[in-house]
Structure 1
Amino acid sequence: MTDLRVASFNCRYDTEYDGPDAWPNRRERVVDLLGDIDADILGVQEATPHQFAYLREHLPGYDWFGVGRQGADEGEHVPVAYRRDLVDPIDTGAFWLSPTPGEVSVGWDAAYPRVATWLDAEVDGQPLRFLATHLDHEGAEARYQSSRLLHERFLTGEVPELVVGDFNATPQSRPVTALTDAGLRPAREAAETVAGPHGTFHRFDGHADDRIDYVFASDEFAVDRFETVVSSAPYPSDHWPVVADLRF
């Protein structure tokens, strides 16, 4: 049986309007947090180009892949990181959450272009498919259609599958049930042991009422443990990371 730790973390984009919580004041805490989590495969959301570069430089045990939502290296990324001493990559790619996923585009009623990043790999000879994404924060129809697109375009069921990300949607919402209806299980509900609060989005005040960050796993995985990782102030981000310990 292969043990695999996967995680999702919205690192919060760099904006001066965050004042004391702006990226330059917390970037070292982000690296320390991700180092402590020590995921084998990680999906990150909201990483602008210089944030993405900082993560790559300061987390050297990983190989990374991601594209900006404006294309190439432009705009926020949803990168995937994988531990090079454990994960054997087969292929990587990205597509846009829209009716024209092969090109830079805004889907349905979304406020911005949104992208999904994927990795096909083997771990100890076991194939898997991993996807990280960030659904739109304003467009309800875009969130739902984006989840349907993930299933129809990417989630074939041919290999064990993992999906992580910030869905900007609560557990009973249409975007989440679109994935559960497709056969993916939220790792928190499937886990033998659960730690940390239900909510994940705390807006830099430490009080998370909304659960919008997820790890989903197909039936090939047993979920030993799930944790919403809480930090003390000053906070690394306005989201708590979510982490799942899995077995094939």
Structure 2
Amino acid sequence: MKYYLVSIVVLCMSFFGCKSDKPAIEHNLDIMTYNIRLDVASDGENAWKNRKDFLSSQILFYSPDIFGVQEARPNQMTDLKDALKNYKAIGKGRDGENKGEFSAIFYNADKVSVEQENTFWLSETPTEISKGWDAAYPRICTYGLFTIHETNRKIWVFNTHLDHIGNQARLNGIQLILKKISDLNTDDLPVIVMGDFNVEPNSEVIKNIKQTLVDSKEKAKTIFGPNGTFNNFKFNELVTRRIDYIMLSKSSKIKVKKYGVLSNSIDLKYPSDHFPIFISLTLE
């Protein structure tokens, strides 16, 4: 009798579209974006040599699976790689190969792997070392297609640092990134775009991004920390400027459990002039 009952259930599921009550598999990822402030001697007591250990230990404590950095000079990339033993990185410097500031993407090689990666310039000639439109400096975007080892799920991650002067460069740069996503993401995979956008939430740049993507803060179940992300190393002043973001695909299959702006300090000093943003998300 049991055999016939099992057979009927199997036939129902196979031929009549009956659904199992088994919950969908979730893929958990922790993501961070961090403008680490370039290494420049004029920063004095806030120079990189005085804060690199704190910054590295902060990253290790939160242990993001994937994180993007901005303003990382070659020596800073070396320091991060030396300190973050389980992480690998992709990306080029904005002056070519290992020269100039990086918008690199680090990833925990024990948890995820990269299938393809590239860096392009935010300019009219994106495959060449170049400065676009009214930008003060060359600007780049590094991206990778990542696979989560545990579930074999894939996700695109883009990391950038938009210009701090040229509004046209910011607007056109974001459009170039969105166009690149459209060209690459033919399988409609989840997408993350993160970085220092150098604009606040009411800007035209953010309005343009949100036609395609959604602000992770607006999707988060739990929000923690200050609203602002740019502290300028001024410990005793309110942090109000929000210019760093993690944007996500507009998909109900991406859920943001937590969004945090991490304002850790030691002895009244911050590890960077920006706070990192940290999110925990699930992919269904």
Q: TM-score, normalised by structure 1?
A: 0.97
Is 1:131 matched up with 2:158? Answer: yes
Counterpart of 1:225 in structure 2 is: 258
Aligned pairs, how many? 247
Cα RMSD of the aligned pairs, angstroms, is: 1.0
Structure 1 unaligned regions, length at least 5: none
Show the counterpart of 1:97. 122
Contact 2:261–2:278 (CA<8 Å) still a contact in 1? yes
Counterpart in the other structure of 2:247: 216
CA distance in structure 2 between the partners assigned to 1:154 and 1:50 by the alignment: 30
The Cα of 1:155 is off from its aligned counterpart by 4.0
- Partners of 1:63 and 1:201 in 2: CA distance: 27
8 Å contact from structure 2 (residues 263, 270) kept in 1: no
Moved more, 99-108 or 201-210: 201-210
Q: What's 1:17 paired with?
A: 42
1:245 aligns with 2:280: yes
TM-score norm. by structure 2 comes to 0.85
Contact 1:200 1:209 (8 Å CA) reproduced = yes
Write the letter of the residue equivalent to 2:194.
Answer: V
Partner of 1:159: 189
SS at match of 2:279: strand
Give 1:121 shift: 1.4
- Counterpart of 1:194 in structure 2 is 223
Q: Secondary structure at the match of 2:117?
A: strand
1:67 counterpart SS class: coil
3-state SS of 1:192 partner:
strand
1:139-179 C-alpha deviation (Å, 9 max, x unpaired): 01111111111101224552110011000011121221221
Distance 1:200 1:211 in 2: 5
Cα deviation, 1:111-146, whole Å, max 9, x if unaligned, reads: 000010001011121111001100000101111111
Q: Is the 8 A contact 1:145 1:175 kept in 2?
A: no
Partner of 2:12: none
8 Å Cα contact 2:123/2:132 also seen in 1? yes
Superposed, 1:20-39 pairs within 5 Å as: 20-39=45-64
Distance in 2 (CA, whole Å) between partners of 1:58 and 1:104 is 29
Which digits, 9 at most, give the CA deviation of each residue in 1:33-66, with x for residues without a partner?
1111210000000000000110011101111112
Structure 2: which 5+ residue stretches go unaligned?
Answer: 1-25
